[in-house]
Structure 1
Amino acid sequence: MAMGIDDVRGYSENYNMGSAARANHVAANAAVKNGVIKAATSYEGTRELTHDFSIELKQGSITDQQRSGRCWMFASLNTLRYELMHRWKLEDFEFSETYLFFWDKFEKSNAYLENVLATLDEPTDSRTFETINAYPADDGGWWQMFVNLVNKYGLVPKSAYPESQNSKDSDAFTQYLTTKLHQFAIQLRDHHENGMAMSELRESKKRYMEDIYRICAISLGEPPAKFDWRARVKDGDDDKNDESENKSGSGKNSKDSKNNATSDAEAEKSKENAEKSEQGEPGIDERKQIVEHGITPLDFYHKYVPVDVNDFVTLCNNPMRSRPFYTHFQLKYSTNVAETGNLDFTNVPIDVLRKAAVDQVKAGHPIWFACDCMQYCVRDGGYFSKNAVRVDELFGTDFDIDKANGLEYGDYPSNHAMTITGVNLDENGKPNRWKIENSWGKSTGTDGYYVADGEWFDQFVTEVIIRKEFLDDRTLKASQSEPVVLDPWQTISARSD
């Protein structure tokens, strides 16, 4: 039934009638001038969300993904750099996000072409092929994609492979990489239609990947196969400093690796500098150093990162009836590295997910998580809270959708990944505030950090990455069970861009 002009006239009359008119006009003045979020921001709600926490992890400098969709990568690396910094007593540290960005683009391209080869007889307008073809090499991703890359390529410090214009602003690079991949997909499907054997198609794909490598290398620069690294340790812990300088890492993930530590000549020079300093000459930084020459990215990861990225489980909270709890799910065509398994998730009730998160932070470990960051977010002050963004008061209507329906109808997609670095527990031990490290630079939030209240966490956080040691027996058993395989468009969480 069409909307009549008389109906519209009636709506306008009600909008401008009586006491409602004043409220509507005040709200319109605020929203038109300042935007919906600023107009709806409640000073009472934000005042309740103090940026102090009973448990807080000391992290390094705030990172900035800039104009790219690498949040999942930044959040992943932020969880690991915390462990590295505290294991080796560093004041600050940042991994190279560009290094993994290069290999993610390269590997996603290969995985896409493999998916094309696996679906050669699918119509191009089938739901399966449309899903595969939609984002062949976009920026977004998940923790397990990060794990795939680290296992294959290792990690490097930012100094060894810094940011480039195309990593900071990836649109043009991604656009033309995507076009080239679509061109290759067309060629593969045409060759198949003309009777080319699979072995020949794979040879063609192998040649195509040389063009992909060249596009990535021209856009980002070639990643290092080996590199040098030097870091100064903090003062005040000489025993640990000596171990850092002269021995291989003894953390959970360390393996034998040659450490080209400080040479005798450097030690003698350090002694001379100390003597000069005592004689009143300009002060020289005498902190002990970790020095590496010609180390590989895989050796760097195994030696200096004291955790194994494979010792984590992806927990989801999706209360849709079609996604039963304590079930292990796997998503078809979802990996970024062709030879690895597809993404998998263990769905659990929110109280189970919440407890695991609290236990991990209490034990001194940050948490990667995915959420809908667009919901009830005040960027300026750094708040995630329904009480902080009172759009219900601004518009005079509620926006209540429960989590199950929000996921099923696509209103609560996981569109961002961040890192939990603290929690505040009330008198009953229940979390009422979470400290969140973002990757949008220091100009947003409070010096780059956000605070989320407990209600927001429960409703809009869909996924957390938990160390196996913090899982209860039932959840751990579920995570190791045979997965229920879902089609690539079926909802567990959603894209994390």
Structure 2
Amino acid sequence: MTDQSAVDIEQIRDYSRAFNADRANLVAANAAVSTGVLAAATDYQGLRALPRDFSVELKQGSITNQERSGRCWMFASLNTLRYELMHRWNLEDFEFSETYLFFWDAIEKSNTYLEHVLETLDEPTDSRIFEVINDGPSDDGGWWQMFAALVNKYGLVPKSAYPESANSRDSDSFKQYLNTKLREFAADLRRRHEAGEALDALREAKREDMATVYRICAIALGEPPAAFDFLARVKDDDDDKDGESDKAGKAEQSKQESGMDERRQIRETGITPMEFYRKYVPVDVNDFVTISNAPMKRTPFNTRYRIRYTANVIEAGDMEFVNVPLDVFKKAAVDQLRAGHPIWFACDCMQFALRGEGVFDRDTVRVDQLFGTEFTFDKADGLEYGDRPSNHAMTLTGVNLDDNGKPNRWKIENSWGKDNGKDGYYVASDAWFDQFVTEIIIRKDMLDEATLKLAQAEPVELDPWQPLTRPCR
């Protein structure tokens, strides 16, 4: 008797005969097997339809590189802030220390994990909520609000004050053993609870556990600075602003003759990370709202959501999002770029993407033509079925507007180094933006009154497994 649930051998023969009878299949197979799916699916007409010029474009600093780590959300956040700092202080280039926040994020995530363990001591280890808590206690991923929580608590430092290390560039081994140790601590706390120890005793044990966490982080990354010296040189661009072009020309000639860099200096000695943030960063990380576009029935628009168990800094609270329709979402993005401010955003960077060419576009990555089948998921079904959750954060630094003021392509600053994309920058079609961009961080003064009011509304709580968003890496 034939098992109706099994793949039938005769069916396989039929499939093979049909496959080989179609010349297009053979051509596609030759291309895909030889060059890979994405190369075989690349449409040159699609590439040509996405030029690299933009009617609205922000001038950014050097391209950054997160290397083999899941720190994209930090890089995108710091790239957003460094633009503001560079233009406020007229600097040619600048980079914050990503490793500084990476250190404190590991500390805070470890503390939050152990706090969540204490909150769920009576939960079975195979319960859904404990499985979420226990899944990668100190993993790299995150969101803008995690970044804001760290900055609010620890401030910021320039990269020169706390440079990269081997374990920030490639974080797998560091985080593997930190996670193992944290889970050992969790098992110990739960065993002590079963043996009848009081919560005060468990908290004292947790305090001792955190000393070990600090030691692991300090050995892997080096201790972060409590204070540092800072020196930056201001660009010469302002020399002619007062109509003193002749004087500026003579000064430049003098500099060339002497060999001295005589540009004006910004200099600080013994400044703390919090002092540096408050003095030199001209924006407040709390003056932003995360708006999302998740058109699922379970997450109606014009609602504020909070996702349980998503904090990194325990006292800062869980991640919150205001879910809005696409037209509101896109207008906020265009308005902020036109006002001269970059935008942190989260997306599914794997969909219809060419990493080497730096393109996000369905009309360029024609896997439908290659495989002879349509890919019909819309944004709602893609989120509902876990096919396109956010997994990467980048920075919008430009947009091209058509004659009617509508966007048709977007300029993206990535954190994968200058050898990916075109000198580190990507271009996304507007249709791709609509389908795969799920979150943007918008300044409060760029939001319409209705959306700003929603940001103050009582949030609807979601469980961490509900498909609204995922940490970006």
Report the TM range for the smaller structure's normalisation: over 0.9
The letter of the residue matching 1:149 is L
1:25 deviation in Å? Answer: 1.1
Contact kept in structure 1, 2:148 and 2:286, CA below 8 Å: yes
Please give the alpha-carbon distance, in whole angstroms, between the structure 2 residues aligned to 1:236 and 1:317: 40
- 1:186 matched to 2:190: no
Please give the alpha-carbon distance, in whole angstroms, between the structure 1 residues aligned to 2:120 and 2:433: 39
- Aligned pair count reads 462
Question: CA 1:282 to 1:104, structure 2 compared with 1: closer, same or farther past 3 Å?
Answer: same
- Residue in 1 that maps onto 2:35: 34
- 1:438 matched to 2:414: yes
Please give the alpha-carbon distance, in whole angstroms, between the structure 2 residues aligned to 1:207 and 1:494: 31
Please give the alpha-carbon distance, in whole angstroms, between the structure 2 residues aligned to 1:290 and 1:419: 27
- Residue in 1 that maps onto 2:260: 284
Please give the alpha-carbon distance, in whole angstroms, between the structure 2 residues aligned to 1:370 and 1:385: 16
**Gap runs ≥5 in structure 1:** 242-273
- Residue in 1 that maps onto 2:247: none
Q: Percent identity?
A: 68
Contact kept in structure 2, 1:328 and 1:344, CA below 8 Å: yes
Contact kept in structure 2, 1:378 and 1:384, CA below 8 Å: yes
2:321 to 345, 365, 387: 345
- Residue in 1 that maps onto 2:143: 142
- 1:6 matched to 2:10: yes
Question: CA 1:153 to 1:378, structure 2 compared with 1: closer, same or farther past 3 Å?
Answer: same
Runs of 4 or more off by more than 3 Å in structure 1?
238-241, 274-282
- Residue in 2 that maps onto 1:121: 122
2:427 to 438, 451, 454: 451
Question: CA 1:282 to 1:55, structure 2 compared with 1: closer, same or farther past 3 Å?
Answer: same
2:444 to 451, 459, 468: 468
Please give the alpha-carbon distance, in whole angstroms, between the structure 2 residues aligned to 1:276 and 1:466: 41
- 1:206 matched to 2:210: no
Question: CA 1:372 to 1:203, structure 2 compared with 1: closer, same or farther past 3 Å?
Answer: same
| Partner SS state of residue 201, structure 1 | helix
The letter of the residue matching 2:301 is F
Contact kept in structure 2, 1:226 and 1:296, CA below 8 Å: yes
| Partner SS state of residue 218, structure 2 | helix
1:373 deviation in Å? Answer: 0.2
Contact kept in structure 2, 1:148 and 1:337, CA below 8 Å: yes
Please give the alpha-carbon distance, in whole angstroms, between the structure 2 residues aligned to 1:176 and 1:383: 36
1:428 deviation in Å? Answer: 1.0
- Residue in 1 that maps onto 2:361: 385
| Partner SS state of residue 236, structure 1 | helix
- Residue in 2 that maps onto 1:315: 291
Please give the alpha-carbon distance, in whole angstroms, between the structure 1 residues aligned to 2:353 and 2:463: 32
| Partner SS state of residue 116, structure 1 | helix
1:160 deviation in Å? Answer: 0.3
The letter of the residue matching 2:229 is D
- 1:230 matched to 2:231: yes
Please give the alpha-carbon distance, in whole angstroms, between the structure 1 residues aligned to 2:320 and 2:272: 30
**Gap runs ≥5 in structure 2:** 243-249
- 1:62 matched to 2:66: no
Please give the alpha-carbon distance, in whole angstroms, between the structure 2 residues aligned to 1:285 and 1:480: 50
How do 1:60-459 residues align onto structure 2 when only pairs under 5 Å count?
60-237=61-238, 278=254, 281-459=257-435
The letter of the residue matching 2:18 is N
TM-score, scaled relative to structure 1: 0.91
1:48 deviation in Å? Answer: 0.4
Contact kept in structure 1, 2:291 and 2:329, CA below 8 Å: yes
Please give the alpha-carbon distance, in whole angstroms, between the structure 1 residues aligned to 2:256 and 2:225: 42
Contact kept in structure 2, 1:137 and 1:174, CA below 8 Å: yes
Question: CA 1:275 to 1:11, structure 2 compared with 1: closer, same or farther past 3 Å?
Answer: closer
